Each structure stands twice: as structure tokens, then as C-alpha cells.
Amino acid sequence: MPASTTAAHPAINTSILIIDDDPDVACAAQLLLRRHYQRVSTLTDTAQLNSSLQAAMPDVVLLDMNFTPGRTDGAEGLALLSQLRTLNPAPAVIMMTAYADVPLAVEALKRGASDFITKPWNNDRLVAAVQSAASRYGKQDLSLQDEDFPELMGHAASMRELKSIIRSVAPTEANVLILGENGAGKELVARAIHQHSARREATFLPVDMGSIPESTFESEMYGHKKGAFTDARQDRAGRFQTASGGVLFLDEIGNLPLGAQAKLLHALERREITPIGADRAEKINVRIISATNLNEASLFDASVFRTDLLFRLNTIVLRIPPLRERVADIPMLLAHYLHGYQQQYQRPARNIDGNVVAALSAYSWPGNVRELRHACERAVILATQENYMLADFGLPFAAIAEIKSAAVPVTQVAVAEASTETVITSPEYTLAALERETIANAMSKAEGNISQAAKLLGLSRAALYRKLEKHDI
């Protein structure tokens, strides 16, 4: 395991409990985390957990998933996770196992784990997971779970704040403007608002405003009467009438031409519309939720968007964080989508190595969660190895620079410099090769000292001996 490159921070007043039946592993994690936190304790006998919790309640728990020799199903760790989740306040729990697979990770995250770490761990990855858990949870009650918003996955502080605002806004009739980049999940947020509102049993109607020609805007939105114009062979309800009693979701509202914006403003101000060819106006009963990928500076540019319309739409503004600003959620999302596509395409369950997760976490994901979801679908369809390889996800070459800047070893990417492909191809990127290289690096750093190398790797001496023999090191 490479030595940690994370800069040492002043000791933080956060208490951490490491629960692992292997004292060497527990000690290695304790030594690493004491560089950053003053209060780090270990527990190797789970029978003493209750007494330990009574003596001192930790903020963050690193919890092994298997405690009985030969057990690899993670049931023991999941049972302890459930026990810890009943505490009030409940600590953040990071699961650890040497036998990680995607379904197990998904189950742990569903039960409230904040993260999932594979052993032997990457020092930077472990420290980052603890720092994220400590900052996001601390002594807080974790009762605000994703059960309310199953499609809005994530425990990052920005996502927790977003869900909290949705809970407050949804029961009201206030108009909501959702801001976010492409692929960030604007429609999912809009649907979450609808599902938690008094209109939940009524229609949720999404409309792509950028796809409506200005010349047919009134007909599309307000409807028309038979004979109102050529080809108007019958009465037609517009989007406002179709969504009556429910929610009209005006997606990509920033793409609406200025002329159409004026017509929309008129309808919202008067709360009535006049279908083309009709003699009188009709009252409208819809809640307006709109969304755009325009930045706020553009929205306040009068040449792009009418200010008076903006003030009609933005009673409440929700900002969806891009995926690059909530990196801690990437492992959870990977586990969720890989597991889902494995079931959809009836493909075998595969592990995803921690180094692959680290590389994927270092990528900026300009297409946000949508891009990550598509990458997971691609990986499930194309993967042929026992474990998912970085190449399976089809990242562009631009990702290499980001991975380097995130301190992920370049040798883990193994890209042929002469290749003209637009995706990372890596026939040498196998778990066995990475494991051998990691162990060799640890032995070199420890100058051949088995005990020291084992601590660096988070392994027992016996486990390290077996791996040395396995890889002929």
C-alpha cells in the first residue's frame, strides 16, 4: 500500500473507533489515523462493544464485516451496523472488508453505512473517507435517510442540505427553480418535490421548453379550438390543461426564446390562459417547477432571460451540486448502478477494486451522475475479467491528467502512449498485477521488514506471508 500523501492536519476533536478482529489491521489503521485525529481507539472483541460504547460514544466507526474465520458473507458486520444505527446519536460507520463485492457494498450503504473500504486499503482513500464522514455526520442523528428520496442518492453535505430544503419546500405551493449542470438530476429533484407535495396523486408533466418552436408555443402550452387554424381539426388541450391539478415541470426554461418568455409571463401573472380560437380565458391550477443549466449570471442577463419572469419562477431556488463537488458519493453511486445493471442484463456480479474506485473518483465527470450511470452500464456490458477494470468504464484520455493530479499512481492506468483510441485501454490493469505491485512497494518501503510491511498494507503477518508466496516475491 502506498504511503499516504494526504497532508497532515492538526488533530481534530473527533473520536474514532476501529472494530476489527485482526489486531494488526486495527493497529495499522490506528497509527494512520492518529496523524490526523487525537482520539482513535480499537476493539478486537465485538462482545465488548456495548461496554465500549457506554464508556465513550465515537463519532466515526470503522467496522470490519467478518469476524469468524472462514466467513466472507459480511453478515456479522451488517448485524453490528444495524446495532450502531439504532444509537442516538448514531456514529458514522465506514465498512471494511477484504472480500468486497458490489451487492455487499450496496446492502451496507442501504443500511446506513457512510462508505465502504476494501482491504488492503489505500491510505489516502481511508483518511479521506474518515474526514468526509466526520465532517458530514459528527454527532448528528442520521435519521434523515435516503428512504424519502430513493433516486437522490448521496450523503455529501450539499446533498443532505438539498434534501432538507426539498422536505421544507415540497408541501407548499411555491414555484421552484432548479439550477444544475447537464446530467446532475434536475428532473429527479422536481419529481421528488412532486412526490412529497399535496399534489402527489395528480399529474407530473415535464415539458422540454427548448424543443417548442416559438411559432407554436401558444398552441402547445395553452391548446387550441377546432378550426382555429389550418389542420386544427379538433380541440386540443395544451400542457397547462393536461397538468391541471398537478405539477408542470418546465425543463430547460433558459432555452425559451424571449418572445415566448413574454407569453409565459402573462399566463403566470394572470393565472389564466386563452386557448387559440377560444372566446374566453381559462383559469389554470398548476404548480410550476422549472429548471435550467444556465448559470445565475446568465439568468440575470436581460438579453437572455426576462427578469420579471425570473422573479415569477424563482420563489425558491434549489442548486444541485455537480458530482465533482461530492466525490465522497461516487463509491455509493458506483455500487448502486453496477448492481442494478448486473440484474438488468443478467450479468455476473463482479468486484470493483479500491484502486479503480480511486481512479473513477479522481475523474471530474463533466456529464455528472448521468455520465457515471452510462459508464457503469458500459462496464457491466463489456466487462470480461473477474473484477471490473478501469478500461471497462470508457473514460476519455482527458481523465488521465485528472487521475495524476489526484495522486493515483500512473502505473495503475497503464495506457499505451501511442494509442489513438479515445478511451482508456488497459490489458495489464488486473487486480493480481496491482496487488503484486502494491505488496512489492510496501516491502521496499519497509526494507524487507515483514511486520512493518504488513502494517503498511493493513494485513496480518500470516496473510502477508501467503501473498508473498502467491506472487513469488
Three-class DSSP category at 212? coil
CATH superfamily, with its number, for domain 1-144 = Response regulator (3.40.50.2300)
pLDDT for the residue 328: 79
pLDDT band at 278 (very low <50, low <70, confident <90, very high): confident
Q: Using N-to-C axis directions, what is the helix angle for 431-445 and 450-457, rounded to 10°?
A: 130
Strands (E), 252-300: 272-273, 282-283, 287-292
Sign of CA dihedral 104, 106, 109, 110: negative
Residue scoring higher pLDDT (425 or 188): 188
Return the DSSP state at 2. Answer: P
Output the CA–CA distances (angstroms, integers) from residue 94 to 107, 116, 296, in the order listed. Answer: 13, 6, 37
Q: What is the pLDDT of residues 78-103, one digit of tens each?
A: 889 888 887 877 888 998 877 656 67
DSSP secondary structure string for all residues of 34-56 = TTTEEEEEEE--GGGHHHHHHH-
With beta carbons less than 8 A apart as the criterion, state whether 97 and 121 touch: no
Query: Residue 71 phi/psi, 5° resolution?
Result: -80, 130
Which residue in 11, 3, 52 sits closest to 19, CA to CA? 52
pLDDT band at 361 (very low <50, low <70, confident <90, very high): confident
Output the CA–CA distances (angstroms, integers) from residue 185 to 253, 321, 337, 338, 366, in the order listed. Answer: 15, 10, 15, 18, 13
Percent of the chain's residues with pLDDT above 90: 33
Q: What is the pLDDT of residues 386-416, one digit of tens each?
A: 899 888 998 886 565 555 554 443 333 332 2
Output the CA–CA distances (angstroms, integers) from residue 227 to 219, 277, 280, in the order listed. Answer: 13, 8, 16
| 316 strand-pairing partners | 176
Gyration radius of the chain over CA positions? 27
- CATH code 3.40.50.300 region(s) in the chain: 157-320
Question: In whole angstroms, what is the distance from residue 213 CA to residue 157 CA?
Answer: 40
Tell me which residue has cell 457506554. Answer: 54
From first CA to last CA, the distance across the chain in angstroms is 15
What's the mean pLDDT in 308-332? 90
Question: In whole angstroms, what is the distance from residue 363 CA to residue 344 CA?
Answer: 26
Tell me which residue has cell 512493518. Answer: 452
With beta carbons less than 8 A apart as the criterion, state whether 272 and 159 touch: no
With beta carbons less than 8 A apart as the criterion, state whether 250 and 290 touch: yes
DSSP secondary structure string for all residues of 370-394 = HHHHHHHHHHHHH--SSEE-GGGG-
Averaged confidence pLDDT in the chain = 80
Question: In whole angstroms, what is the distance from residue 308 CA to residue 289 CA?
Answer: 16
pLDDT band at 190 (very low <50, low <70, confident <90, very high): very high
- CATH code 3.40.50.2300 region(s) in the chain: 1-144
With a cut of 50, say whether residue 6 has pLDDT above it. no
What's the mean pLDDT in 30-38? 85
Strands (E), 334-454: 351-352, 387-388
Tell me which residue has cell 419546500. Answer: 169
pLDDT for the residue 426: 34
Which residue in 151, 116, 158, 100 sits closest to 331, CA to CA? 116
Residue scoring higher pLDDT (178 or 14): 178
pLDDT band at 137 (very low <50, low <70, confident <90, very high): low
At residue 446's C-alpha, the angle toward residues 441 and 449, to 5°, is: 120
CATH of 157-320, one of 3.40.190.10, 1.10.260.40, 3.30.2320.30, 3.40.50.300: 3.40.50.300
Question: In whole angstroms, what is the distance from residue 429 CA to residue 355 CA?
Answer: 10
pLDDT band at 370 (very low <50, low <70, confident <90, very high): very high
For domain 433-470, give the CATH number. 1.10.10
| 116 strand-pairing partners | 95
Residue scoring higher pLDDT (254 or 429): 254
Question: In whole angstroms, what is the distance from residue 382 CA to residue 391 CA?
Answer: 10
Q: What is the pLDDT of residues 257-276, one digit of tens each?
A: 999 999 999 999 999 999 98
Return the DSSP state at 336. Answer: H
Please tell me whether the peptide bond between 69 and the residue prior to it is cis, using omega within 30 degrees of 0: no
With a cut of 80, say whether residue 196 has pLDDT above it. yes
Least confident of 216-220, 328-332, 436-440: 436-440
Return the DSSP state at 216. Answer: G
With beta carbons less than 8 A apart as the criterion, state whether 450 and 465 touch: yes
pTM score, whole prediction? 0.57
- Top-confidence range, 9-13, 183-187, 393-397, 407-411: 183-187
pLDDT for the residue 413: 33
